Amino acid sequence: VKGDPAKGKQIVDAVCAACHGVDGNSVAAANPTIAGQSHQYLYSQLKAFKSGERKNPTMLGMTATLSDDDMHNLAAYFSQQKPKDREAANKELMPLGAKIYRVGNAASHVPACMACHGPSGKGLPEQFPRIGSQHAGYIAKQLADFKAGTDRKNLMMTDIASRMTDAEMKAVAEYISGL
Ligand code: HEM
Ligand code: HEM
């Protein structure tokens, strides 16, 4: 296994904790919870921010001075933290959110999110990120970013998000936050 979590923790305390929480559970909806995300996913996103492939001014700044070893150390640390359960705030959006997540939308060819992200949103380590218990606001922004295709691109997610309506994205984001 690559990376030294103790070395990662030193950077976390000095830099990342302010936004993502010392244990990777963030408070503000714009800052994702990154606790328990797989090493591979965390490392790949840090690299993507640093190279500008995933565009975010804040995270571009945060990754500018990180070495490849730093990124592995940080990924090692956050992948060992435990994400906290969250409750979906808007219960009215649950029926549509649950339908998209578990069944998809056949008419517009939106697949069931569950197929890749798992029945409880835990994802599949090294392949599909965990999305359960994530802030709804952050999830909705990622779907919008995939759809727009300028700040964030991914073959699978760009295709899926581009088939979704704003109402579907909002509802599924809310549903996922409570998984
Ligand atoms: C996103 C790690 C510092 C704000 C992310 C993601 C990772 C990450 C892995 C992507 C999460 C995902 O795709 O689920 C780190 C590390 C940091 C750090 C290791 C320290 C070196 C910070 C700080 C702030 C911040 C200090 C606030 C000033 C954000 C925001 C996003 C994000 C707003 C979401 C970007 C978007 O909407 O695409 N961070 N972060 N991060 N981080 Fe950080
Ligand atoms: C990433 C939501 C369906 C594969 C993501 C992210 C979200 C999301 C919010 C970003 C996670 C983060 O930033 O932490 C959804 C929703 C779906 C869906 C709402 C259903 C409508 C699928 C399906 C697949 C898939 C069916 C597989 C075919 C992926 C992959 C990533 C991802 C590979 C990582 C992308 C990257 O590396 O940037 N998804 N997803 N998703 N999803 Fe999905």
* Separation between Cα atoms, residue 50 and residue 1, nearest integer Å: 22
pLDDT tens digits for range 103-138: 999 999 999 999 999 999 999 988 999 999 999 999
**Among protein residues, the one whose CA lies closest to atom 30 of ligand 1:** 31
Query: Ligand 1, atom 21: nearest CA belongs to which residue?
Result: 16
**Assembly ipTM:** 0.98
DSSP classification of residue 54: S
- Probe ligand 1: pick from 38, 59, 145, 146, max atoms within 8 Å of CB? 59
The predicted-structure confidence for 73-108, as pLDDT tens digits, reads as follows 999 999 999 999 988 889 999 999 999 999 999 999
pLDDT at res. 1: 66
Ligand 2: centre distance to CA 10 (Å): 30
Q: Quick check: helix, strand or coil at residue 36?
A: coil
Nearest residue by C-alpha to atom 30 in ligand 2: 128
Ligand 2 atom closest to Cα of 115? 26
Instruction: Quote the pLDDT of residue 9.
Output: 98
Distance of CA 105 to the CA centre of its chain: 22
Rounded Cα distance, 168 and 122, in Å: 21
- The protein residue whose alpha carbon is closest to atom 15 in ligand 1 is 16
Q: How far away, in angstroms, is 166 Cα from ligand 1 center?
A: 24
Report CA(57)–ligand 1 centroid distance (Å).
Answer: 10
Name the residue at shortest CA distance from atom 18 of ligand 1. Answer: 16
Q: Tokens 């919870």 appear where?
A: 33
Could you give the domains of the chain?
A: 5-79 (1.10.760.10), 91-177 (1.10.760.10)
DSSP string, 58-126: HHHHHHTT--HHHHHHHHHHHHTS-PPP---S-GGGHHHHHHHHHT-BTTTTBPPTHHHH-TTS--BTT
pLDDT for res 23: 98
In this prediction, residues 51-65 reach a mean pLDDT of 97
Asked whether the predicted pLDDT for residue 146 surpasses 80, the reply is yes
